[in-house]
Chains A and B, each alone.
Chain A
Amino acid sequence: MMLRLLSVVAALVLCAGQSLAAEPIKIGAVVSVTGPASFLGEPEKNTLEMIRDELNAKGGLLGRPVELILYDDESDVNKAVLAAEKLIKKDQVAAVIGATTSGSTLAIMNKFPAAQVPLVSMSAAEKIVNPVNPWVFKVAPSDRHAVGRILKHAQAKGYKKIAILTVSDGFGQAGREVLKELVPAMGFTLTADEVYGPKDTDMTAQLTKLKDAAPDAIICWGTNPGPAVVARNRAQLGMKTPLYMSHGVASRKFIELAGESAEGLMLPAGHLIVASQLPDSQPQKVLLLAYTSQYKDKFKGDVSPFGGHGWDGLKLVAKAVETAGSDKPAAIRDALEKITAFPGIGGVFSFTDKDHNGLDANAFEMVVIQGGDWKILK
């Protein structure tokens, strides 16, 4: 009996000693695990937890374990604000990754300069990094680059008239603003500008209207499942007008949902979905293939670029902690800003004090859907 008691005491002392020696490095995350944006948040959460385990299996950072404190904002801005407050004030994390949606990020980002904690956003809106907020970074590529790639392709094809069809949520709104600016700026005429709701199940009315405007090409900006319905309705109406999609649908799920009607659609996508077609010299290739198989093994699902944002966010913070040699928020921020040529899932990141996104148009590749698979367009 005595012996057992002693061993318990010894174990307790050992545990306490260990935790003193290696206090974990706390990294926070605000993710939309549930609610309308959960299809983005779920792969992000999975990936964040996977990378945390991977880091810890390799001995953590600076010899200390990594603790990921992840809160679900339920796709609700109020909850996102509460979650950010909690991470900053209660958990006192070294850095925060999130939020999933642009709306949530915009709602929480002004808290970070005051708290002097760096935030790495996984959402796309340009307002997050333009103008530069010294404490806020983002890993999701900007719509500007994606739109640029599409319009370059359209120019090469000799298209003149462009029609756009966007979803009325944060993602679609951001895309629509950039499209309305760049389409005329790059010498096209914008012949029609239609909108659909994120929960709509039939877009034939909008497409019929677009058809009447007789554009040379249509650009549709949205995330699943809307664009799949657009693709199906386009096939139903027998439209032959070329259709570009956004990088928001660059996941297997889109082809599964749109079925045959996805054939021939073009979109700018990150390198993730075409990793196996990349030349071996491409700096991301090894990472992308590894991430794809790792994710598949662990979660029995397909990778999506959104999960990739989680990968980039946590790995960039980890890299910053290592180069700074400290988990002080200010040191992490300074180190983040100095990261250059860092291959990630979304692209090769090079931050500067003027560029807190660190990606350019090279993060995208124009792809076409052929035979139920993605093909890089030359």
Chain B
Amino acid sequence: MGLFRKNFGLLAFAAALGLAPLALPNDYYINVLILCCFNALIVMGLNLLMGYAGQVSLGHAAFFGLAAYTTAISTATLGLPIPVGMLAGVAVSAAVAWLLAVPTLKLHGNYLAMATLGFGIIVSIVFNEAVGLTGGPSGFVGIPRLKIAGFTFTSDKAYYFLSAAVLWVATLVSRRVIGSRTGRALRAIHVSESAAQAMGIDIARHKRFVFVLSAVYAGVAGTLYAHHLTFVAPSSFGFHFSVQLLTMVVLGGMASIWGAVAGAFFLTSLPEFLRMFEEVDILIYGGLLIACMMFMPSGLAGGAQAIARKLKAGVRRG
């Protein structure tokens, strides 16, 4: 029973992901769900970095893009098998993060934000200008559809279940990391680096670990994205997307896995609901961001917790 209770969230999440397609009025929305899964994956990694370790990144779109372009070039240009391309994509993201972590994570606050922002911009300029390699601003055409062990994911539904499964596994991994010794060390670093150091925590190593881990999450999402869309263009990996990711983390709730998922699903699907307002949707979007932060400072996760607490108190009283 205890085990069930402890893992209730994970089981409920699996059920929700599995049943979601049944609730959709038509097949189109499957695509929105797939995008939600990709974004949730990146945001979950970013939340580990920001929410638990307290390190800002305004360049995560770059890791997403690096993996997407690497698998695109490996499979379409070099003709390598798709699993090899995807592994290479994730590896490139991780390796770049590993190299970048050393000088970057020494920086603090706004300076760290600037360094990651600058890195993101440099990478997106390379995507844009290295035309021979990336296809330039008009994009990279002809990425093969995902095929693993002879099974091609032709239908969007199949692709959705794959992405959902990956997201679920990522959730599992995140929970493990947070509950582990490393997770506790990260939270200590967040509260006070000096105190953590005094406790004998190797700050540089832990920061680097979580930075690389978040890049791996973004990389996995990037490779899935490339083989789903079968087309990538630099505009998807720019500063704009990095800021969106940051917004998803904060709006969902810092230091909360469920918050990351909620933030990503909410902000990714929001434009679909706002479409009926046509061009005014941009005002509503901006207004909603402000309102959420004003009235739910700890994000969707915090807001839900507060409501749950109130309900519980009400039940007890009643």
Q: Is there direct touching of A and B in the complex, by C-beta distance under 8 Å?
A: yes
Residues of A within 8 A of B282 (CB): 34
Would you give the 0/1 interface string for A75-104, flagging 1 where the beta carbon is closer than 8 Å to chain B? 111110110011001100000000000110
Residues of A within 8 A of B279 (CB): 33-34, 72
Contact across chains for B137 and A172 when beta carbons are under 8 A apart: yes
Contact across chains for A125 and B271 when beta carbons are under 8 A apart: no
| Measured CA separation A110–B137 after assembly (Å) | 19
Tell me if A55 counts as interface (CB < 8 A to partner B). Answer: no
Q: Contacts A85-B28, A90-B26 known; A173 to B275 CB distance under 8 Å? A: no
Tell me if A64 counts as interface (CB < 8 A to partner B). Answer: no
Residues of B within 8 A of A71 (CB): 275
Residues of A within 8 A of B141 (CB): 106, 127
Contact across chains for A103 and B235 when beta carbons are under 8 A apart: yes
Tell me if A107 counts as interface (CB < 8 A to partner B). Answer: yes
Residues of A within 8 A of B229 (CB): 77-78, 81, 107
Residues of A within 8 A of B138 (CB): 102-103, 106, 125, 127, 170, 173-174
Contact across chains for B236 and A77 when beta carbons are under 8 A apart: yes
Q: Contacts A34-B282, A85-B28 known; A75 to B235 CB distance under 8 Å? A: yes
Query: Which chain A residue has the least Cβ–Cβ distance from B140?
Result: A106
Tell me if B35 counts as interface (CB < 8 A to partner A). Answer: yes
Tell me if B193 counts as interface (CB < 8 A to partner A). Answer: no
Q: Contacts A79-B271, A169-B137, A195-B129 known; A106 to B28 CB distance under 8 Å? A: no
Query: Which chain A residue has the least Cβ–Cβ distance from B240?
Result: A76
Tell me if A168 counts as interface (CB < 8 A to partner B). Answer: yes
Tell me if B303 counts as interface (CB < 8 A to partner A). Answer: no
Query: Which chain A residue has the least Cβ–Cβ distance from B225?
Result: A78
Tell me if B90 counts as interface (CB < 8 A to partner A). Answer: no
| Measured CA separation A72–B282 after assembly (Å) | 12
| Measured CA separation A75–B231 after assembly (Å) | 15
CB proximity to B under 8 Å, residues A29-67? 33-34
Residues of B within 8 A of A170 (CB): 136-139
Would you give the 0/1 interface string for A166-198, flagging 1 where the beta carbon is closer than 8 Å to chain B? 001110111000000000000000000001000
Residues of B within 8 A of A127 (CB): 138, 141
Contact across chains for B275 and A78 when beta carbons are under 8 A apart: no
Residues of A within 8 A of B230 (CB): 110
Residues of B within 8 A of A34 (CB): 279, 282
| Measured CA separation A106–B234 after assembly (Å) | 13
Would you give the 0/1 interface string for B274-285, flagging 1 where the beta carbon is closer than 8 Å to chain A? 010011001000
Contact across chains for B137 and A77 when beta carbons are under 8 A apart: no
Shortest beta-carbon distance, B212 to chain A, in Å? Answer: 26
Q: Work out how many contacts link A and B, with CB atoms closer than 8 A.
A: 72
Residues of B within 8 A of A82 (CB): 28, 31-32, 35
Shortest beta-carbon distance, B91 to chain A, in Å? Answer: 25
Residues of B within 8 A of A33 (CB): 279
Tell me if B202 counts as interface (CB < 8 A to partner A). Answer: no
Residues of A within 8 A of B31 (CB): 81-82, 85
Residues of B within 8 A of A75 (CB): 235
Tell me if B247 counts as interface (CB < 8 A to partner A). Answer: no
Contact across chains for A168 and B129 when beta carbons are under 8 A apart: yes
CB proximity to A under 8 Å, residues B123-147? 128-129, 131, 136-139, 141
How many B residues are at the interface, by size bracket? 20 to 34
| Measured CA separation A86–B271 after assembly (Å) | 14
Contact across chains for B137 and A168 when beta carbons are under 8 A apart: yes
Contact across chains for B233 and A103 when beta carbons are under 8 A apart: yes
Contact across chains for A89 and B26 when beta carbons are under 8 A apart: yes
Residues of A within 8 A of B129 (CB): 168, 195
Residues of A within 8 A of B231 (CB): 77, 81, 106-107, 110
CB proximity to A under 8 Å, residues B211-270? 229-231, 233, 235-236
Query: Which chain B residue has the least Cβ–Cβ distance from A195?
Result: B129
Q: Contacts A78-B35, A82-B32, A195-B129 known; A106 to B236 CB distance under 8 Å? A: no
Contact across chains for B28 and A77 when beta carbons are under 8 A apart: no
| Measured CA separation A71–B131 after assembly (Å) | 30
| Measured CA separation A168–B124 after assembly (Å) | 12
| Measured CA separation A33–B279 after assembly (Å) | 8
| Measured CA separation A110–B141 after assembly (Å) | 10
| Measured CA separation A195–B129 after assembly (Å) | 10
Query: Which chain B residue has the least Cβ–Cβ distance from A91?
Result: B28
Would you give the 0/1 interface string for B58-81, flagging 1 where the beta carbon is closer than 8 Å to chain A? 000000000000000000000000
Give the contacting residue for B131; candidates A86, A102, A173; CB below 8 A. Answer: A173
Would you give the 0/1 interface string for A95-126, flagging 1 where the beta carbon is closer than 8 Å to chain B? 00000001100110010000000000000010
Shortest beta-carbon distance, B221 to chain A, in Å? Answer: 13
Give the contacting residue for A103; candidates B28, B139, B275, B278; CB below 8 A. Answer: B139
Q: Contacts A71-B275, A77-B231 known; A90 to B28 CB distance under 8 Å? A: yes
CB proximity to B under 8 Å, residues A183-218? 195
| Measured CA separation A169–B137 after assembly (Å) | 5
CB proximity to A under 8 Å, residues B14-51? 26-28, 31-32, 35
Query: Which chain B residue has the least Cβ–Cβ distance from A177?
Result: B131
Shortest beta-carbon distance, A94 to chain B, in Å? Answer: 17
Shortest beta-carbon distance, B141 to chain A, in Å? Answer: 5
Shortest beta-carbon distance, B69 to chain A, in Å? Answer: 14
A71-B275, A103-B139 given; 10 more Cβ-contact pairs under 8 Å: A81-B229, A82-B35, A103-B138, A103-B233, A106-B139, A107-B139, A168-B129, A168-B136, A172-B137, A173-B138
Residues of A within 8 A of B (CB): 33-34, 71-72, 74-79, 81-82, 85-86, 89-90, 102-103, 106-107, 110, 125, 127, 168-170, 172-174, 195
